Amino acid sequence: MTEWPYKATGIHYLDSAASTQKPKAVLDALQEFYSMHYSNVHRGLHRLAEESTKAYEKARATVAAFLGAHNPKEIVFTSGTTEAMNLLASTYPLTADDTVVVSLLDHHSTFVPWQQAAKRAGATFKVIPLADGRLDYAAAERLIEEGCAVLAITHLSNVTGETIDVSRLADKVHANGGVIFVDGAQAAAHIEIDVQSLGADAYCISAHKLYGPTGIGALYCRQDLLDTLPPYQFGGEMVDQVTVSKTTFANPPARFEAGTPPIIQSVGFSTAIDVLHAHQSDLKRIESLAKDAISRLSALPFITVHSVTEQNPGIISFTMEGVHAHDVAQFLDSKDVAVRAGHHCCQPLHDTFSIPASVRASFGLYNTKEDIDALIAALKECKEAFDV
């Protein structure tokens, strides 16, 4: 039985797409490791350095297995999904003849790095549109056929809760000689990931969105591709030999991990993955909880649901007629219901919906029917309080 210490706050936490709450097992692992096994990793000859190095590399193997990588060397620890995507956008070679494709569903952390990378290279930047609130696959395939050196796309939308058929797009991209880089920040907490069957050339995740600590994430990148990418930051640990006149660099993943890495975070990350594994059967429960929430929200005449209503693993965005999303979220807080309001780092998507902001309720392993009851009751009260 997993313990969730945050429950002591009495808050109905429905903001897991922003960040998840932490199980006691993760908190205990951090405390235990900092207390008894901690030192800097690599090169140290004392036993704490040895223990820390082993734990850090074991975490890499855990993440590799979690994503279905062939080899732990295909895993680079980063500060999170954003850094992983920036690493790719900064190092992947683009020319002015190339086209970079993203989608309207993409989070700013995918959208902006690739928009800027295309701009730097003088490359063309294209955006896959939506059709009826969902990714327009026909348009996607057309764009890819027109030429696509890189497709960067989310696996699970953090606004609409739509799961993208990555393998379908990957086949198309590969047939046209491109690569596909996937933002898995949301998906990794809700869907079993296998980068091989997805056909992803790279896949980026954040630990804090899957019950682990902040400050660490991972980049999976196919080894033959990762080997060709140049260093991204310089410093200790990423070098081979340094002389006054030149420096040669270490092989991946060390080449991309300059400086002291997120050691303690890696311990929390691998513990969180263990917790998530133990809860695989709960993912179905969360999805049916979300389904229930969507049908109860849709039944409220003053609520418009902007998320997909089928096969939504637990990310629901909506607006309340006549009440600004920020007021809804603030009012809900006074009823101990934690949701998010804003554009959720997807401004182009909200522009398409012609709304400045939406309210988002998102689910995690700890949520129950009581949380949805509290949400629905608070929304009714909110409508009453703000009715003009």
Q: Which residues would be at the binding site for other proteins (CB under 8 A)? A: 323-327, 330-331, 334, 342-343, 355-357, 385-386, 388
Please say which residue, 52 or 317, places its beta carbon nearer to other proteins: 317
- Minimum separation from the CB atom of position 351 to other proteins (A): 10
Nearer to other proteins, 44 or 356 (CB): 356
To other proteins, the closest distance from the beta carbon of 388 in angstroms equals 5
* C-alpha–C-alpha distance, residues 18 and 210, integer Å: 10
Give every CB contact of residue 333 below 8 A, 6+ residues apart in sequence: none
Nearer to other proteins, 232 or 331 (CB): 331
Shortest distance, CB of residue 206 to other proteins, whole angstroms? Answer: 22
What DSSP character marks residue 59? H
> Residue 204: which region, alpha, beta or left (left: phi > 0; alpha: psi -120 to 50)?
beta
Could you give the CA distance from residue 375 to residue 332 in angstroms, rounded to a whole number? 8
Enter the tokens of residue 272: 């969180």
> What are the backbone angles phi and psi of residue 361, rounded to the nearest 5°?
-110, 125
The answer to whether residue 345 is catalytic is: yes
Q: How far is the CB of 300 from other proteins (least distance, A)?
A: 20
Would you say 77 or 353 has its CB closer to other proteins?
353
User: In angstroms, rounded to a whole number, what is the distance separating the alpha carbons of residues 90 and 150?
Assistant: 13
Following DSSP, what letter does each residue of 310-357 receive, concatenated? SS--SEEEEEETTB-HHHHHHHHHHTTEE-EEE-TT-HHHHHHHT-S-
Q: Which two tokens stand for residue 76?
A: 């680079």
Q: Of 221, 345, 346, 382, which one is the catalytic site residue?
A: 345
Chain centroid to Cα 335, Å, comes to 29
d(CA 250, CA 268): 26
Q: Nearest distance from residue 356's CB to other proteins, in Å?
A: 2
**DSSP-derived secondary structure letter, 164:** P
- Nearer Cβ to other proteins (249/386): 386
Name the residues annotated as catalytic: 345
